[in-house]
Structures are given as structure tokens and as C-alpha cells.
Structure 1
């Protein structure tokens, strides 16, 4: 309940002891929309003599899952406290996996889902839960590649989201000036002062001249059929598209994408938007640019997106569920993958910046909710590197990983992902003191040593030193069919086709 609802409840209950409330303070995760956990915490004070009945038996999860969730939530100071127990057996330990980056994380999750499905586990009983909406993109892409049926609950699929469709429309017009549908979508987005009458005039002229909308614009800016303001606006927009188009072969496609979104005013539009959805839309735009880094060119990326959009129909009886942690409250799945457990991402840095210790406690409750969605087994994954707006960011495992009890988890990480301190997790507590909770330098390496060959028959495998005409020297990190993840000495980590490299 929010504060106003609680005050009304207290007012209505005055002079009467006939009031019964049910709730779980450890699952209060909607503070951002007004819910107040303090309503439960002060109930005994506001209603002296109230009898508190703790419903501690859990009928869903195994003991290992409950013990892990309990250990994490116990770090919160503002809670009533309870001891969960279950008649179910101990069950499998929670699998904690450290991966090199977001792509490796998506690969691990997809491969583990395929393994579970091969053992006759229903895809309907498997869920991937993320902290933020933009994180779904990597899993959607990977599942599409492997033809794993899936659904995104609580929102549109990544490439169907409004801001992504707008951005893609800009990219399509840059590549294909005669794409009328794309141009119509963004011609006045953001607002450029082009009214409905102006756009109608352009469409009517295009139909009458049996030509495309872009050509109709070129014709009409030299006539008196449009107002001076409209002609100036359209001339500037047309010039922008010409300039962006000229850069397709000379600029890196990620840099060009950022230029288009910035210079068109589209990014700024969402920065100035005060709606609750705006920060998420900006995160999605950054994730879109990061996704493009996985492809060799603008054209290759747009071709992939077109294929994805053509195969969005959910005609399967079994599908993996992808959703945010907030959307998962009240649901349960046999197998749950909790992705992106890294400092700044989860717990959310924005939440902690805005609400301090209160925000951290709500993030921890969100972790508790996520873990307890699992009935049979939970997986927790974290990446050492994340691509953000085309740039690599180093990441530390979430402090929540450190709070998991050692006897309820089994840990593994790709070798060397944290340098000489492989597997060492560090964090800062609420006082700013740096803590080192555990050291797992002997973490086993579970990555697969795949091998492929160049067109000349030279063997390529993880660790092989190579040369790329554009990016220079580098070392192969992972092999995925004909695509290689390579850590370049100067260009950073990139995914390239094996046809474009040679053994150094």
C-alpha cells in the first residue's frame, strides 16, 4: 500500500480491533510507484495488541534456494524478520556463473536451456529474469539464433519497442531513401513543427507524381505549396540524411548510429522527457548501439533485424519466459536464470543514487523475490565486461553475490575474467568501506574450447593470435560458428566473421 491508502485504513479502523492485513515486507519492491514498506513495519505500533502470524513454511522452493534467499535478505536492517523452511529436500545448489561479457552470458544461458530441454524439461517452466528491460535484447538475439521459442512478458520484444522502431526507421531512411513508411514514421519525430496538413500535402504530391516521399520533398521545397518554415525544416532534414548517408562507408557503423540519434535530436528528446519510462528508453537506445557492435556493417545489422521482425509470431506451445524481476513477483518456474548481477546494474546505481540506503534495501528485496521464483534450481550470472553505447565497461560482481551462503551455491567462472584475481568479488558497503568477501582463485573453467579453420585451412581456436585488416592484431576469445569474438590490442573486443581474419 502507499501512504495515503494506509492512512485511510488507519482512519477507518479507529475504535475497532477488526482489522486483518496480509503482506510480506521482504517482497515490497514497488517503492518507485508509491508503495511504502514502512506501512507493514509500523503496523504493530499503530495497532497495539495486534497478533503477528508469520507464514514461514514455503511450498515452492528447495532448501538451498530458501537458504540463499534468506541469507541475502537478512542483510536488510528494516524488516520484521522470518525463518523460511520447507519440507522439500535440499535440492540442487544455486549455480553462480561468471562470464566474460554479455554475449557469453547469453550463450551460457541458451546452452543450459537447450540442455534442460533435451532432458524433457518444458520450456514453459524456464524463465530468464533481468533487472532492466534493455537486458532482454542479448537473450532475445541468442534465442533467435538457436531457434529457442521465447516470449517477453510485461513489455514488447526489444526490436518492437517504440524507441527502437523509431531509431531503426532513421537507419532505414539513411540506407534506403525511398523507404516511405520509415520516413513517415520519423519525419516529425522529434517534433519539428511539421503539421498534419504539411505531411498530407507531401503524401498527396507523392501519389500524384507516382514517386517516393523523399523525392516529393525535394520537389516541393522549391515551390510555394509549403510554408517557408516547413520548407526550411524539410531542407535541413534532407541535408542531414544526405550527410549521414555519405558517412556509411567511412565511419564505423556504431559511431554513425550514435551520430544519427544525437544530431536528429532523438536522444535529446528522451533526455528531456520527464516520464517514468524515459530512462528505460534511453537505456534501450544505448543497448541498440551496443548490439550493432556485433556486426560488421550497418547493412549486416539491418538485415538481421529484418529477419527477426519477420519471425516474431509466437506459434509455439512451449516458450521460455523473459521478463524483469519486478514483473516476476507472484510467479514461479522450475528453473530461473537471474542475469546481470553486477554492481551498478543490480543493485541499480540509479536507485542507490536517488534513495541511498533505502534504495539498496529495495534492490535487495528484489534479489530475494528473484531467487524465490525458482522451484527446482536457480542460476545467477554476472559478466566481467559490458558493452554500453559502443564502449566496453569493466564490471564487478554484485554485492548480492557475496551475500550468498557458500554452502548453498556452486561457483564457476570463465578463466581470467578478473585478471590475476579470477573469481575475486569486491564491493563497497554502505559506509564506503571496501570489502573482499571471498576469493575463488581456483574456480574451474567451464568454457568450451571450440576449433574452426580459416579459408586457407589454418586452425583457429581460443587463444590463437590473429590479424584483421581494419582492427589490427588480437586474440580469439570465443568461437561461435563462423563468427569469432576477438580481443584486439587497440580496438578492444569485437565480433568478426572468420573470413576477414588471418592467423598472425
Structure 2
């Protein structure tokens, strides 16, 4: 055996048969379907090392593309370990960094200098804001971040300005298209590109200059791509141009292998659109151009494609053989992370997706603990149960750092954070901000702090221009200076802004703000005309919170926004309202309004302060959204909030995007190594007072054989293991939370829908009693109704137990009639 053979054999040791076939692949297109925990990074790194050791390619002739710098660094390090030498010359990079490297050399061909600036997301948002303001657009309705996201989507789909304008179907789309045009011209004028341009411009370069395309194609004999299921049309086109024989022929008239609206890059010099891919003569290959090597290896898992909102196109991985008919497909189905019961739950769930590449994950790690599904009386009981189980597992030797609580939206972290803090358990929020540190929550609390103490200049400075009301830093500085000089408070100054030397426009803006503050002080004093104060003058803090959001226009600005992040901010404010509502229900009504508000603010401050005391990352429970959990793994995982409308999210239900939501659930389940629990609450405070909930449709798709014996009862609405009802909490100090013996589940609190309403089938995980079925409700088409969150609307139709309502300010929504809490408007 030669030394090369010996080296190659060493690289193949320890690989299972599918992994070995992928590493030894003789060349040409290869798709590796890598199930969760199946060792895809091992396959990628061994493939690169194998190509080098067998002499098929030098380090400088391989391009390995990942999605994060961390993944690229890990891949490079592991390849170096396998080769036992430096990996200098190997191109291991993210898509964007690889393209930036190419453009630094070739930028002048596109009208840029090589010293072009790369705008980060903040730079980009600021430029979009300036363009919107120059166009006279209302930046409260057309938020810079929302418009920037839409422009990004156009670029990721390789849509030119002209195409965006042609596709614009309404005022918002037209405003975005116009902003896109102005934004692109400004970028070019500034000799700058944003992140999306790095991909689009490289595609543009390869299409316009076949000699450049040929040079890079010949330079990289092998191209490897990680997380292929997350590629967008621009990234797909980049790979196509780099590896295929005839880009013009392959692209078709609309580009992207026949995909819709992926053609047409933006001309760098004019900022205007040009013809889509396949219609531009410049895409024709040069005479004598070398044919594409087609040595493209892509690794991914369609079941983990969860970034559709970032323009990722799952068809790239589902249709790989359409683009490469001679491609070899290898499935990695042996899982090295989780026990079999967890994998059975994941397999059973994802089997319900229509658009997928079927696979069956298996493991040699044993069956392990059965998956637990628990129904809790409410979201407080859910949080206490999770914390009780965290303490139980910790007592059995599972480190806190090996436990994670996952949820669909950040707003659901609030209850878990509170329970962990009261139990004196340290935690970290990954990919997000702790609840009381979120900007919108701090804004609302700062309003309350300033109402309570008008001398609080820090709170005043934070809220005086939130939402934006034309009161700039100079004006704020003069108000604070005048208050300090006269020995008064900012509240006194804004009542007579002219005395502070403010100009006319500033006086007008400040006076309007003063009127809003005066109305809020009436609420605090119990004199609000809408009855925000309770009978007898007792203050309800929840009503005061809602008045702050309404009177100041804070809620209206977020509701008018089309930015998806603003929807999350609204959910966080709803959770703050729920937090205040809990205080109103549980705290003794003692003292006047100011005293009540003081106790509420003290409780919130103590919770917030306790949040910051955690300083031991190795001893912290991890909290994060399901999107942030991708690529991570833990010994114990708790997936909370498994209710229809929460997870799957109501937005996904309304828009028919359930398959991506199911893939998200699959990702969450496969994060667990040994212990997996899924919980839902029969009542949850989401948009005001607690409402009855129904279990997630995903729960009834879990195979019974993977669940423990308590799960079916918990899901059916039958009494479970004696979870105590929610007890009184003391908001004036931090104490430990009580819980039932053994962290028991269940409780007979109402809310589970009957089998017919949920579409349950005999033998499913949810089949069982229906004592708490919703009342039969029939709404008439055309009937006017009101909803606690969506306000007024008109009934469109009844679909069985689902009522379809077109709300005046929120469009059409599908609601379960028995739990929608609609009221007729007479």
C-alpha cells in the first residue's frame, strides 16, 4: 500500500457506509441529505482532506462555502487536524466573504473601485431612512428596517429595480420599489455595497464577463457547500455559474433553473434594471470556454429548512436532480446525538410534510427516556413545571448548561425568566435580550417611572421622543438644563416650553407631548373618562400600561409597521400587559395609586436586577427561540408554548406556511440528546387577559409509541398528576416558587377542544375525553364582531369550527370559533 493509500484509508476509518461513499465520491454533482446529528461536518472535512491526500485537488483548488464565520473556522481547523499541516490556500468562507474576496479583485469591471465600502445592516438602514425621507414617505408606516428587509428580499431573489417596480401590487410595494431605486443609486454614488450586493454583484460579474467566470471555474476544481437547504436564489445562481457547463442554457428565460423572478441583477453604474438571466447576450459562454467541472458537493437537510423569511428556497435542495440529472444522492440517517424515542418523535412529526425527501433517523444509543407531553392549567403552571423539572434533572447530575428551554417567539420567555429568577436559577437568553431589557419593555416601564416620579430625568430623556414626535436631542437638552437651573422637573418645563427658550416648532411638539402626559396623570389619579382606574379609585396597572401605549401612540406606530420585528415588539408589550395584569390580580390593593405603582415598579426592577446577577455561563439554563437553536444540542430540552396560534404561529396558519413551522418543530425536537418535554397551557395571557388555548396540531402528530404513558391523558384534557393551581406571588421581593410533588403535570383546568374541532383521529396522541369542548358557535357572514386583539371586523364565513373574519385593521384571520372570544357588535 502506498503512502497515499494509507493516508486515504486512515481518513475513511470510523465512517459509516453512507459517510464513506460521500467522502470517496469520484466526482460530479453530489447531494448529501444529512439528517439531524448525522455527522455532516465530519463528512465535509473528511471529503476535503481526502481530495487533498489522494491528489485530486490542491488546497487552493477547493472552495468550501458555509453560512457562518464560526462554521468556516471550525471546518478549516478540523481539516488542518486531519491533514496534519497548514491549510493556507484553502478557500473556506461564507458566501458573502468569498464574494467580497472576488470583488476586491474584479470590482472595477462593475464600475466600483477596489476600495469599495461594505455597508453593514446599520449603515444600510440609515441610508434607507434618508432615501425614504427624501421621497417624502411616512417612516412610521414605512419603517426603514421593514423597507430594508423588502429590498434585501428583492436582491436575494436577483430582482432588479425595474422588476421590483413591475411586481409592486400596492402602495407599500411601490414605496419599497421607489426606495430601492434611490437606495441603489446612493450606494453606487458612495462606492459602496451592502451584504446582499456582495452576492448579486458577483453573479452580475460572472454573467457579464465569461472570461472572469471561466477563470474562477478553473481555479476551483471542487466546490463544497454546507447547509444547502438555506441557500437563496442568488446563492444558487452563484453556484450554478461556477460549476455548470452552460449557464445560459441551464438558467432558462427566468433564471435560476426556471424559478420565478430570480433573474435580473442591477446595473452598478446606472442603478437601473436589465434583462433577466438568459435574455442577456452577455451570459453566453465565450468561444472555447472550458466546460464546467460539475464537481459540486452540497450537504443539507430539507427537514431543517426554516429560513424562508430570509429568502431561503427549499426547492434548491428538493429539485437538485432536476438541475443535475446525473447527481448522486446519499442519505445520512444514522444519528449520533439523540436516543431513539426522541428520533421516533421527530420522524413521526416530519412525515406529515408533503414537500420533503423522506428519511428515517435511527441511532445506536438506545431507546432512552420516552418523550413527555404535558398540559398545564396556565402559563404560570407551565413555567413552574419546567423550573421544577430543571431542578430535578440538576439533582440527578445534569448540568444547567446542558438544559435549554425553546419557544416560538421571544415573548414567551417572560414567564420562564420570572420563574427561574424566583427559583434563584441562573439563565442566559441566546440570540435575544432578557425580557425586562428589551427596548420596548424598557420604554413602557420608563413612562411609568416618570409618571411616578417626574424628577426622574433618565426616564424622561428615554421617553420624550418615543415614539418619534419631533423632539430632538437639542430640545431635550434645553428642557433638562432649564429644569436644573430653575429647580423644577421636566414635567414642569414641558407645561410651558416657551419659557425654556424653545423655538416654535419645538414648542408645538413638546406641548402635544405635555397634553398626552396630562391625560396619563388623570388616569393615574383615577379620573380617566374610560375608567382605567378600578372602582373606588384603586389603580389597575395593566390599564395604565395600555393607556400609556394608546395615548402616546406607541402601540399605533408598531401596529402600522410592516416590519416583522415590530410584530415581535407588540408581542413583548402584550406580555408586559399580562405581567401587570397578574400583579393587579395577585397583589393586595393597598394604598393610593402612587403606592400601587411604586410596588409594581419595585417588583419589575427587582426581577430585572436579578436577571443581571447571573455571571456563570457554565451554570446557566439556556433560553432561546427555535430559530436560534438550530445547530445546537443539549442533554435536556423543554419546548414550551405548544398551542395552535402560538406554535404553529397564527401568522403561519393564516398564510398556509405550516410545513416550515413543522420543520421548525423538527429542529427543536432534534436538539435533545436524552430528555425531551413538550408543554402547552390550557390558558395563556397573550393579548390581554388569559384566554383558553388548544394544543398544537403538531402534538397530535407525534407517534404514541414515542411518548410516556402520561402524555395521552395530559393532552386529552383528563386530570393529570396534581399540578397545583397558581398561587399568590409577592411582587415586593424575590422568593422561591412552590410546585407540586415531583413536578407533576396535568390539572383539570378547561380549554381542550373536542376531537371533531381539532380533527383528531382515534389512536392519535390527543385522542381522549372531550369534557372541556368549546361551545357550538355559529356566526353569520356579514355579522360585525369584536376581538380582544384585532378589534372590529366582519365575519366572512364559517369553515366547520373555524370562523373567518376580515378585521378592519388586520386583514383576514382564521380563528377557532369556540375559543376566539368574539363579541357581536350591535
TM-score for the superposition, normalised by structure 1: 0.82
What is the CA-CA distance between 1:217 and the residue it aligns to?
A: 2.8
Could you tell me how far apart the structure 2 residues matched to 1:388 and 1:161 are? 17
Task: Report the counterpart of residue 662 of structure 2 in structure 1.
Answer: 364
Establish whether residue 270 from structure 1 lines up as the match of residue 558 from structure 2. yes
Task: Report the counterpart of residue 314 of structure 2 in structure 1.
Answer: 37
What is the CA-CA distance between 1:12 and the residue it aligns to?
A: 2.2
Task: Report the counterpart of residue 439 of structure 1 in structure 2.
Answer: 767
Task: Report the counterpart of residue 638 of structure 2 in structure 1.
Answer: 337
Task: Report the counterpart of residue 338 of structure 2 in structure 1.
Answer: 61
Task: Report the counterpart of residue 31 of structure 2 in structure 1.
Answer: none
Higher-Rg member (1/2): 2
Which residue of 387, 390, 393 corresponds with 2:691? 393
Establish whether residue 294 from structure 1 lines up as the match of residue 571 from structure 2. no
Could you tell me how far apart the structure 1 residues matched to 2:374 and 2:544 are? 35
Establish whether residue 309 from structure 1 lines up as the match of residue 608 from structure 2. yes
Q: Which moved more, 1:6-15 or 1:134-143?
A: 6-15
Which residue of 328, 346, 351 corresponds with 1:51? 328
Residue 462 of structure 2 aligns to a residue whose secondary structure is helix
Task: Report the counterpart of residue 139 of structure 2 in structure 1.
Answer: none
Long gaps (5+) in structure 1: 444-504
Listed as ranges, the matches of 1:46-445 within 5 Å are: 46-218=323-495, 220-221=497-498, 225-227=502-504, 228-230=507-509, 232-247=511-526, 249-295=537-583, 296=587, 297-311=596-610, 312-316=612-616, 317-354=618-655, 356=656, 359-410=657-708, 411=711, 412=714, 413=720, 414-418=746-750, 437=764, 438-441=766-769
What is the CA-CA distance between 1:11 and the residue it aligns to?
A: 2.7
Q: Which has the higher contact order (CA 8 A, sep 6+)?
A: 1
Could you tell me how far apart the structure 2 residues matched to 1:230 and 1:342 are? 44
Long gaps (5+) in structure 2: 1-230, 246-292, 527-532, 588-595, 715-719, 721-745, 772-826
Maintained 8 Å contact 2:465/2:471: yes
- 1:229-280 deviation digits (Å, cap 9, x = unpaired): 2453243134234223213644422122111111110101111223231100
Count of paired positions: 435
Residue 381 of structure 1 aligns to a residue whose secondary structure is strand
TM-aligned CA distance change 1:223 to 1:399, over 3 Å: closer
- 1:22-71 deviation digits (Å, cap 9, x = unpaired): 00000001111111111100001110110001010100000000011000
Q: Which moved more, 1:396-405 or 1:271-280?
A: 271-280
What is the CA-CA distance between 1:302 and the residue it aligns to?
A: 1.4
Could you tell me how far apart the structure 2 residues matched to 1:39 and 1:209 are? 67
Maintained 8 Å contact 2:516/2:551: no
What is the CA-CA distance between 1:225 and the residue it aligns to?
A: 4.5
What is the CA-CA distance between 1:120 and the residue it aligns to?
A: 2.1
Could you tell me how far apart the structure 2 residues matched to 1:148 and 1:164 are? 23
Q: Which moved more, 1:252-261 or 1:281-290?
A: 252-261
Over the residues paired in the alignment, what is the CA RMSD in angstroms? 2.2
Could you tell me how far apart the structure 2 residues matched to 1:197 and 1:266 are? 22
Greater share of helix residues, 1 or 2? 2
Maintained 8 Å contact 2:370/2:706: yes
What is the CA-CA distance between 1:199 and the residue it aligns to?
A: 1.4
TM-aligned CA distance change 1:426 to 1:55, over 3 Å: farther
Residue 331 of structure 2 aligns to a residue whose secondary structure is coil
Task: Report the counterpart of residue 452 of structure 1 in structure 2.
Answer: none
TM-aligned CA distance change 1:14 to 1:427, over 3 Å: farther
Task: Report the counterpart of residue 235 of structure 2 in structure 1.
Answer: 5
- 1:103-126 deviation digits (Å, cap 9, x = unpaired): 010010001111111122200000
Maintained 8 Å contact 1:292/1:298: no
Could you tell me how far apart the structure 1 residues matched to 2:602 and 2:390 are? 27
What is the CA-CA distance between 1:305 and the residue it aligns to?
A: 1.0
